[in-house]
Amino acid sequence: MAVLVVLSLIGLPGCVGRSESDVVVYSALDQEFAQPILSSFERSTENKTTVIGKFDVESTKTVGLVNLIIAEQDRPSCDLFWNNEIMHTVRLQKLGLLEKHSWQVGASHPPGMMASDGTWCGFAARARVLIINKKLIDNPDDYPTSVSDLTDPKWKDQCAMARPLFGTTATHFAVLREINGKEKTINQLKAITANAKILSGNKQVAMSVSAGTIAWGLTDTDDAIIEKDQGRNVAIVFPDQQPDQPGTLRIPNTIAIIKNAQHPVAAATLADFLVRPETEDRLAMGNSAQMPLSRKSKFPPRVLPSEPVRWMNVDFEKAANDWEAWAEEIQTIFE
């Protein structure tokens, strides 16, 4: 995938900084999905505002962009951060590197999908789902239905998940730590390592299930729907739907304006544009089939099942507490 190169004159001796008509976006969402929307914003301003995007396509792209924002905090180059997940956005919030904003999303915005201090807003979510190879498990009554099935001995070496050191898998288990407690979650992760195959990422999990290397795995809806759209013989299960279970976790994109941004007015205008229902619908219709949070959305994504999904109740800000210490502890399990 081609990467949009950012050429910045700011900070070079004798050069004049960019005007407020420019806005610099660091995007962890893949360029193929984000760029058309950013270009649409430019057209909505009659091209009076130019979006300068920086995309990182490495597997640790979110961490890389966040670390860059932290490194540049004394003189930010980034005006607006578009993260395709949430936990590291909350990390920036806790470091005091995000600007408060009055988000134009309405009172019906789902609880927990906006910062308590107004520094970030969630929209267009992915869900954590189970992808099933229907040839290897041909009876739907036998499908796994819970994340906890990753520890079931009957699935030993026939199920998989991504290493929970970054991305949505790391977020998932940080959330479970908040819900179930640290000790229980650590024990669950140790049991998973003894029972399931641990792969490098969610995409690898989805592809392995599709290829029949394993029977099922834990992944994200965007990776699962790609396999289904390609005609692979797979099913998608939204897990933990019983009353005594926590529900399915959905992880939103997040938008945040950087503290002391060089172009705060343009950043705020773009932020409002991105969290609109129209933007969510556009992402829902795309290849990743992301799920709108707004009730004003008009396009239900094809990845959703016909029956309503029971979503997990999440406090992402609490889940991000002691992130560095938690990540180090997880590292010792998955070395």
Domains of the chain: 22-124+252-303 (3.40.190.10), 126-249+325-333 (3.40.190.10)
Residue 58: per-residue pLDDT:
58
Least confident of 32-36, 76-80, 232-236: 32-36
The crossing angle, in degrees rounded to 10, of helices 264-274 and 31-44 is 110
Does the pLDDT of residue 335 top 80, yes or no? Answer: no
3 closest CA partner among 22, 34, 31: 31
Mean pLDDT of 114-139: 97
Residue 64: per-residue pLDDT:
86
CB-side neighbour CA atoms (13 Å) of 62: 22
Task: Say how far apart CA 286 and CA 75 lie, in whole Å.
Answer: 35
Least confident of 10-24, 104-118, 166-180, 254-268: 10-24
DSSP conformation class of 110: P
Mean pLDDT of 222-251: 97
82 closest CA partner among 19, 124, 40, 126: 124
Cα-only R_g, the chain = 20
Residue of 48 and 59 predicted with greater confidence: 48
Quick count: other Cβ atoms within 10 Å of Cβ 315?
14
| pLDDT band, residue 57 (cuts 50/70/90) | low
Does the pLDDT of residue 3 top 70, yes or no? Answer: no
Mean pLDDT of 60-81: 90
Task: Say how far apart CA 201 and CA 205 lie, in whole Å.
Answer: 7
Does the pLDDT of residue 261 top 70, yes or no? Answer: yes
Determine which helix (DSSP H) or strand (DSSP E) holds 76, and give its type and residue range. Answer: none
Residue 18: per-residue pLDDT:
55
| pLDDT band, residue 166 (cuts 50/70/90) | confident
Does the pLDDT of residue 233 top 60, yes or no? Answer: yes
Q: 3-state DSSP call for residue 17?
A: coil
Amino acid, res. 245: Q
Instruction: Please give the mean pLDDT across all residues of the chain.
Output: 91
Structure tokens at 157: 């070496």
Residue 181: per-residue pLDDT:
96
Residues 6+ apart with CB under 8 A from 306: none
Determine what percent of the chain is predicted with pLDDT higher than 70.
93
